[in-house]
């Protein structure tokens, strides 16, 4: 199914040519369809997998007991096993309730590197990658990566082949690295989920975001890591899901919309604006406002947009 999807996207010119994955660099995944009614039964603390039988869960009361599961995927990431289940449920009733209880009109969200997101109401969500907990974990990751690299170098000196038949000490360090990567990914993911929930809880009529040229921005090698660490694509996906669930209109403004160059008060376009100007000051009406806050208000006021929900 994955190969079919990859080729379809390739032939429709949405994505590049499918590549074979490196065996050592991927998570192991197993897909189980539900072939007979007794498969994939779920209890509070365990799940019945085809062939394997009952498997105990670590996180209890988490999987949907009352729903009928149609398939599941088992995944191994850094010596832990994860199960994802697919089921369908009817939640049309909830949507109508949400639609009636709208509070604020609409908001614009400006995404960036200095701060992760700024809303047009002036709410600022900082960049989690600048916090000490992330920096400490990244530092630890670097240290273990260096240790592993030294082990490989030492092995090469003794005449062993670099990445074949790893000893137990090398395997230990590989696992340490995998665990740290996982930890970082989970912290970033949880932060994005939190930002989405805070924004969605204000129940706006619509949310406007900018279409970002992430591929283009990554070409700047000084910024490439900090951009990919933000996970803008995942944020947009999470925001889209939340909006669909709560009946909020999600608007996307085109890439070339000059959101940071316009004055949010009088609408005059500023020609000269460098990235170092953190404060937007308008010569026409005399407005002084934070650069990203100004951009967020412009996004909210944008008239040309594509609907994503
Ligand atoms: Zn102005």
pLDDT in tens, 209-251: 999 888 888 888 888 999 999 999 999 999 999 999 888 899 9
How many angstroms does the Cα of residue 264 sit away from the middle of ligand 1? 7
How many Å apart are CA 63 and CA 47, to the nearest integer? 9
pLDDT of 209 reads: 94
Out of 96-105, 153-162, 186-195, 280-289, pick the least confident: 96-105
How many angstroms does the Cα of residue 101 sit away from the middle of ligand 1? 34
How many Å apart are CA 81 and CA 199, to the nearest integer? 32
How many angstroms does the Cα of residue 123 sit away from the middle of ligand 1? 22
Domain ranges in the chain are 2-89, 107-307
pLDDT for residue 287 is more than 60: yes
How many angstroms does the Cα of residue 289 sit away from the middle of ligand 1? 10
CB 34 within 8 A of CB 12: no
pLDDT of 233 reads: 92
How many angstroms does the Cα of residue 111 sit away from the middle of ligand 1? 22
What mean pLDDT is predicted for residues 262-281? 82
How many angstroms does the Cα of residue 262 sit away from the middle of ligand 1? 8
CB 255 within 8 A of CB 212: yes
How many Å apart are CA 235 and CA 197, to the nearest integer? 11
How many angstroms does the Cα of residue 302 sit away from the middle of ligand 1? 16
Q: At 38, is the pLDDT very low, low, confident or very high (cuts 50, 70, 90)?
A: confident
How many angstroms does the Cα of residue 124 sit away from the middle of ligand 1? 22
How many angstroms does the Cα of residue 117 sit away from the middle of ligand 1? 23
b/e for 113-136, b at 16 or more Cβ within 10 A? eebbbbbbeebebebbbeeeebee
Collapse the DSSP code of 163 into the 3-class scheme (helix H, G, I; strand E, B; otherwise coil) and give the result.
Answer: coil
Paired tokens of 190: 């949880």
> How many angstroms from the chain centroid is the CA of residue 44?
29
Q: Which residue has the higher pLDDT, 65 or 26?
A: 65
pLDDT for residue 183 is more than 90: yes
How many angstroms does the Cα of residue 42 sit away from the middle of ligand 1? 60
pLDDT for residue 19 is more than 90: no
Only one residue has tokens 């008060």, namely 265
How many angstroms does the Cα of residue 267 sit away from the middle of ligand 1? 6
What mean pLDDT is predicted for residues 275-293? 84
Q: pLDDT of 46-95, one tens digit each?
A: 999 988 899 999 988 888 888 888 889 999 888 889 999 988 776 545 55
Q: At 118, is the pLDDT very low, low, confident or very high (cuts 50, 70, 90)?
A: very high
Paired tokens of 129: 């990658």
How many angstroms does the Cα of residue 270 sit away from the middle of ligand 1? 9
CB 120 within 8 A of CB 295: no
What mean pLDDT is predicted for residues 196-213? 91
- Vertex 269: Cα angle to 121 and 292 (nearest 5): 30
What mean pLDDT is predicted for residues 109-116? 92
How many Å apart are CA 278 and CA 261, to the nearest integer? 12
How many angstroms does the Cα of residue 306 sit away from the middle of ligand 1? 26
How many Å apart are CA 309 and CA 302, to the nearest integer? 17
pLDDT for residue 115 is more than 70: yes
How many angstroms does the Cα of residue 280 sit away from the middle of ligand 1? 9
Out of 57-66, 113-122, 271-280, pick the least confident: 271-280
Paired tokens of 187: 């912290």
DSSP bridge partners of 306: 252
How many angstroms does the Cα of residue 163 sit away from the middle of ligand 1? 61
How many angstroms does the Cα of residue 282 sit away from the middle of ligand 1? 5
How many angstroms does the Cα of residue 284 sit away from the middle of ligand 1? 5
Whole-prediction pTM value? 0.82
How many Å apart are CA 184 and CA 129, to the nearest integer? 9
Report the run of H or E that residue 291 belongs to, with start and end: helix 291-301
Q: Which of 217, 238, 301 is nearest to 267 (CA)?
A: 301
pLDDT of 212 reads: 87
pLDDT of 103 reads: 53
Which percentage of the chain shows pLDDT scores above 70?
92
How many Å apart are CA 96 and CA 80, to the nearest integer? 39
Paired tokens of 235: 């944020």
How many angstroms does the Cα of residue 80 sit away from the middle of ligand 1? 55
């Amino acid at each position: 199914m994955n190969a079919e999807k990859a080729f379809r996207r390739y032939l429709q010119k949405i994505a590049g040519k499918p590549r074979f994955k490196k065996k050592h660099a991927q998570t192991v995944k197993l897909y189980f369809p539900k072939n007979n009614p007794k498969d994939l039964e779920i209890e509070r603390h365990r799940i019945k997998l085809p062939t394997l039988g009952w498997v105990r869960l670590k996180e209890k009361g988490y999987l949907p007991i009352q729903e009928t599961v149609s398939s599941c995927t088992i995944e191994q990431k850094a010596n832990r096993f994860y199960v994802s289940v697919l089921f369908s449920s009817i939640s049309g009733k909830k949507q109508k309730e949400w639609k009636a209880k709208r509070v604020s009109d609409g908001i614009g969200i400006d995404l960036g590197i200095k701060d992760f997101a700024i809303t047009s109401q002036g709410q600022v969500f900082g960049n989690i990658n600048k916090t000490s907990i992330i920096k400490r974990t990244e530092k630890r990751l670097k240290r273990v990566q260096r240790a592993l690299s030294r082990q490989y170098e030492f092995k090469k000196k003794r005449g062993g082949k670099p990445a074949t038949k790893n000893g137990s000490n090398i395997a230990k360090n590989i696992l340490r690295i995998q665990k740290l990567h996982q930890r970082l990914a989970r912290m970033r993911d949880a932060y994005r989920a939190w930002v989405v929930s805070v924004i969605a809880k204000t129940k706006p009529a619509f949310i406007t975001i900018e279409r970002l040229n992430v591929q283009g921005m990554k070409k700047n090698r000084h910024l490439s890591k900090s951009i990919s660490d933000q996970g803008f694509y995942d944020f947009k996906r999470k925001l889209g899901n939340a909006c669909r669930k709560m009946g909020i209109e999600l608007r996307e403004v085109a890439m070339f919309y000059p959101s940071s160059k316009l004055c949010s008060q009088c609408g005059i376009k500023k020609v000269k604006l460098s990235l170092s100007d953190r404060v937007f000051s308008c010569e026409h009406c005399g407005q002084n406002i934070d650069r990203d806050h100004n951009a967020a208000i412009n996004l909210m006021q944008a008239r040309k947009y594509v609907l994503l929900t």
